[in-house]
Structure 1
Amino acid sequence: MEPDRVDETRAGGGADAAPEDVAGAIVTALASELGTSLLGVIGHGSWVHGDFAPGRSDLDLLVVLQHDPSPELMRRIEPILSTVVEANPPWRDRLELGFVTREAVHDVLRESSIPHQSARISPGEPLHLIPATRHQILDWEAATRGVALYGPSPAELLPPIPAPIVRTVVQEHLSSWTTWLDGVETGDPAAYGSQAYAVLTVSRAAALLCTGERLSKRQAAHWATTRYPQWDRWIGWAEAWWYDGGSHNDPPPSDGRSVKQFAADVSASCEQAAQAVHRRR
C-alpha cells in the first residue's frame, strides 16, 4: 500500500505463464541454492487472495530465512530471479518478493532496538538490501494470510501481527501519499500510471481503515466509488487505466482536480471517521 515505484509500460492482458508455475520455479531454485538457510516461502497477493489480473498483477512472495540476508546472499539469489524472468518475459518487472527472518519481524513489531536487514525486489526496483522496518509490516501481515509454498504454515513461520498495528501503519501510508504525489507531474503522460496506481492504492487503504477488510485494487475501486461518489470519475478512470491497458493516450479526468486532492480528501475523511469513533468511546 505504500508509494512504490510504478512500471508505467505494463498493459493488461497478455499470455503469462501461470503465477503458480513462476512461483514454483522460484521456490525450487531457492530451495536448491539455499538449503537449510531457507525456512519457508509464502505466497500472497491477488494470485492467492483473489482478483488476479493476467498481464498486470504481480507475483507476491515472502521468503523466510534462517539468517538476515547479506550482500553475499543477494549475489546468490539474483541469478535465480534473472533466470526465471528470462524464461518468462511477461513477468519482467512483476516480481514482488521480500526476504526476512522471523526474528526481524518479531523485533520490528515490539519496536526493539536490535537492527535487522531484509531484502526486496519489486516493479522498478532491483533486488536490494533494506533495513527491516514498520514500512514492511503490511506485506508481512498479508503473508500471514497467505499459503505455504515451501516449509511450514505462515502461522508457524511468522509471529501474529496485531490489527491495531496494521491500522496504524495503513494510516501512516495513507498520509504519506500527498507528500509523495508532490513529485508527480500530473500533466505528464508518462505519469498517468503513477496516478492510477495512487488512486487505487489510496482506495485500498481507505477501505481497510473503514471496513477492516483487505481488498484488491479492483475491489477497492468499486468500494470507493460508492464511498466517495464525488470522485467516481477519477476512480473509474484509474481502474480502467490499470486493468484495461491504459497508455499515454488515456489521461485522467480534466475536471480541474488532481490525484493529490483525491488522496488528501480521502485521508481527511478517514481521519475524521477515526476521530468520531474515538469520541464515541
Structure 2
Amino acid sequence: MQTDVLLDRFLDALAPLTPAAVWAHGSLAGGDYQEGRSDLDLIAVLDGPLTPRTAWRLGVLHARLRTAPLAGLLHCSYPVPGSLDDPARRHATWAHGGLFTRPVSPVTRAELHAFGRVLHGAEPGELLPPVDPAELAASVVRDQRDFWRPAVRRPDLWHQDVWVDLGLLTFARATATLRDGSLITKRRALDELPGLGAPAEVVEDIVRRRYGTPGTDAGPGTARRAGLTRAYLGPAIDRLVESYS
C-alpha cells in the first residue's frame, strides 16, 4: 500500500529528531481508513524543546516528502514531553502544506487513549493524561456551537464536498459522543445519520463518494445538496447544543 510506503519514509525522515512516540489517530487508527481519500492523522512527540532549528528541520522534512503519493493527506502535530498536560496548549503542526500551531483536541486525545495506533515508541497512556468525560463533552458542544453553526450560515462553503461530508459526519459523531461517550468512525456516522433525520439523498451521495466507484451514479446537484444540508444541519445543531449545554 502507498500508505505504508509513505509512513515508512516519514518515520525514517523523523528518526534524527529522536521522537519519544509517533501515534496515528482518526480513521487510520479507527479502522475506517480509505487510501487516497482519508487523511493520515499523526501525533509525533518530540524528544526535546521545539527550537527554531527544529521547526526548520520539520519544514524541510515535509518539503522533501511533498511529491510522494498521499503526502498531501499527511497531517502531524509535534508536542514535546511535558506539554501534553494542558489541553489548550498549541503545538507545532504540519497540515495543508504549511507549519502552524494548534492544540491536540480532547476528541483526538480520547481517540488516542481508546484506539490510538502506535507507530513508534511509547503508548499514548504513558505520555498523555486521560481525558475527563465532562471536558470531552464540553469540547464537542463548543465545536458544534462555535464552529459548525456559524459555518451553516455561509452558503458558499456548502458547495464543496468537504463541507457537506465533514459537517454531517461530525454532527453524527458529536451526537454519539454526547449521548453515551462513544467515539464512532465515519462509516458508523453514516449509518447513524438517517436515524437522526439527515436528508437521505445527501447521505447516499456521501456513501457513493467515500466507498463507491468514483464517477458512478451522480447524486443530487451541488446547489440542491448544499440547500438540503444547511436546512437540516442548522436546526439539528441548535437542538443538540440546547440539549447538552
TM-score range, shorter chain: 0.7 to 0.9
Q: How does 1:216-235 map to 2 (within 5 A)?
A: 216-228=185-197, 231-235=199-203
- Aligned equivalents of 2:241 and 2:90: distance in 1? 33
Q: How does 1:74-153 map to 2 (within 5 A)?
A: 74-86=55-67, 88-89=68-69, 91-108=70-87, 116-122=89-95, 125-132=96-103, 136-145=105-114, 146-153=116-123
Check conservation: 2:158, 2:164, Cα contact below 8 A.
Answer: no
Work out whether 1:157 is the aligned partner of 2:127: yes
Check conservation: 1:40, 1:152, Cα contact below 8 A.
Answer: yes
- Aligned equivalents of 2:225 and 2:29: distance in 1? 37
Match of 2:205 in 1: 237
Which amino acid in the other structure matches residue 170 of structure 1? V
Match of 2:138 in 1: 168
How many residues align? The count is 240
Q: Specify the SS of the correspondent of 1:107.
A: coil
Match of 1:206 in 2: 175
The root-mean-square deviation of aligned C-alpha atoms, in Å, is 2.8
Match of 2:235 in 1: 265
Which amino acid in the other structure matches residue 163 of structure 1? P
Structure 2: segments with no counterpart, 5+ residues: none
Match of 1:178 in 2: 149
Q: Deviations over 1:132-189 (max 9, x none)?
A: 4xx733223322331222111111021111122111111111112021233441674x
Q: Specify the SS of the correspondent of 1:196.
A: helix
Match of 2:9 in 1: 25
Higher mean Cα deviation, 55-64 or 256-265?
256-265
Q: How does 1:55-66 map to 2 (within 5 A)?
A: 55-66=36-47
Check conservation: 1:40, 1:149, Cα contact below 8 A.
Answer: yes
Match of 2:53 in 1: 72
Check conservation: 2:79, 2:92, Cα contact below 8 A.
Answer: yes
| TM-score scaled by length of structure 1 | 0.74
Q: Specify the SS of the correspondent of 2:72.
A: coil
Higher RCO, Cα 8 Å, sep 6+ = 1
Check conservation: 2:155, 2:226, Cα contact below 8 A.
Answer: no
Match of 1:7 in 2: none
Q: Deviations over 1:88-145 (max 9, x none)?
A: 32x0321121111343221236xxxxxx5411123xx22323154xx73322332233
Check conservation: 2:21, 2:119, Cα contact below 8 A.
Answer: yes
- The percent of aligned pairs where both chains have the same amino acid is 20
Match of 1:196 in 2: 165
Structure 1: segments with no counterpart, 5+ residues: 1-15, 110-115, 276-281
Which amino acid in the other structure matches residue 103 of structure 1? G
Q: Deviations over 1:223-277 (max 9, x none)?
A: 121232x522222223333444479x753573894433332232233235437xx
| TM-score scaled by length of structure 2 | 0.83
Work out whether 1:46 is the aligned partner of 2:24: no
Q: Specify the SS of the correspondent of 1:101.
A: coil
Q: Deviations over 1:5-64 (max 9, x none)?
A: xxxxxxxxxxx50x3332222122211x213xx211112221221111122011111111
- Aligned equivalents of 1:96 and 1:260: distance in 2? 28
